[in-house]
Structure 1
């Protein structure tokens, strides 16, 4: 079994990433996988810790947006991301010296209000990362080729394949890392 085949329980993820996850207590509404949301006893017993939904307007997001970084994903099966994709994203953030408090993670699939103007009004993003979604689908006025950093309207944009695809392909990881090093100066 390789390192890519190791499954980590949500309880262990909480312990390992206690300084990079956004909250360690349950407050607000329970979100996440449908199975987890149905069994609140797991959340109350702290076997699973789920971050609350945040509303600063009509767009639901995960994180605190402390550094005005918006991460857009298109995930039809989860409220935001699956466990594997979220762990991968947190590892990416750790390598870039940021954490979930610094970003607003938005699932375009579950947010009808996600459009260019609404995102700018609600989050005032400095950096916008697209994973597995096209900028034109949410009304962005610029075309962004994959792994090409674009600057427009005082913002930096990066478009990449889905996190699931990137996690499974070493070449995709290298391309993403080169771009993120430039964006975050690491």
Structure 2
């Protein structure tokens, strides 16, 4: 069969009687591509939980031990004299029973000057009882007056006080002064001490 296709213009007019126009269309249809929204994976919030450590305490025994009482030391003081007037004379000598020869002679003069006899006082060498307090001594001797030669206030558990002065502690009068041996050659201290001792005579 013969090919019926033709490109002859005269032949084509026989078939198409109407005018045909070729119109150029510049408008373009935009090709819309689907927009893909990339979803970003957001990590979950990190929740920080502060955990307090709880120390579990084991059950304690219900029995509570009572504090042990402090045992108070009882002193059995050795002393010279008879302590009939509650007068305590303290000396502090590691070598001699009372003091050196000079110190002992000075004490004899001082005692005589305030008109005391061996019956009136108790004389204790504190070097044998250097952990005894004023309270210990006061309870044992019922002190009304304390003359301390070479024993400091702190050693007796008392606050610091001036030397060679007459002091009052409750119902007890006290004089703290130097060691007898040292005091014998200290004229200024002896003079101050003598003034304090005169107050005892007048009082």
How far 1:111 sits from its partner (Å)? 2.2
Structure 1 regions of 5+ residues with no counterpart?
A: 1-56
Tell me the distance in 1 between the aligned counterparts of 2:97 and 2:156.
18
- Could you say what the CA RMSD is over the residues aligned between the two structures, in angstroms? 2.0
* 1:134 and 2:152 aligned: yes
Return the TM-score normalized by structure 1: 0.63
* 1:163 and 2:180 aligned: yes
* 1:76 and 2:94 aligned: yes
1:2-13 equivalences in 2 (<5 Å): none
* Greater helix proportion: 1
Who is 1:185 aligned against?
202
Tell me the distance in 2 between the aligned counterparts of 1:84 and 1:92.
13
Who is 1:115 aligned against?
133
Tell me the distance in 2 between the aligned counterparts of 1:165 and 1:117.
27
Return the TM-score normalized by structure 2: 0.58
Structure 2 regions of 5+ residues with no counterpart?
A: 1-74
Tell me the distance in 2 between the aligned counterparts of 1:172 and 1:148.
10
Tell me the distance in 1 between the aligned counterparts of 2:130 and 2:188.
33
Runs of 4+ deviating beyond 6 Å: none
How far 1:112 sits from its partner (Å)? 4.9
Per-residue CA shift, 1:99-127, capped at 9, x if unaligned?
A: 22211111111125632222111101111
How far 1:96 sits from its partner (Å)? 0.7
Contact 1:128/1:156, CA 8 A, preserved across alignment: yes
1:142–1:183: structure 2 CA closer, same or farther, 3 Å change rule? farther
Contact 1:58/1:113, CA 8 A, preserved across alignment: no
- Choose 1 or 2 for highest CA Rg: 2
Per-residue CA shift, 1:66-124, capped at 9, x if unaligned?
A: 11111111101123333332221111111111122211111111125632222111101
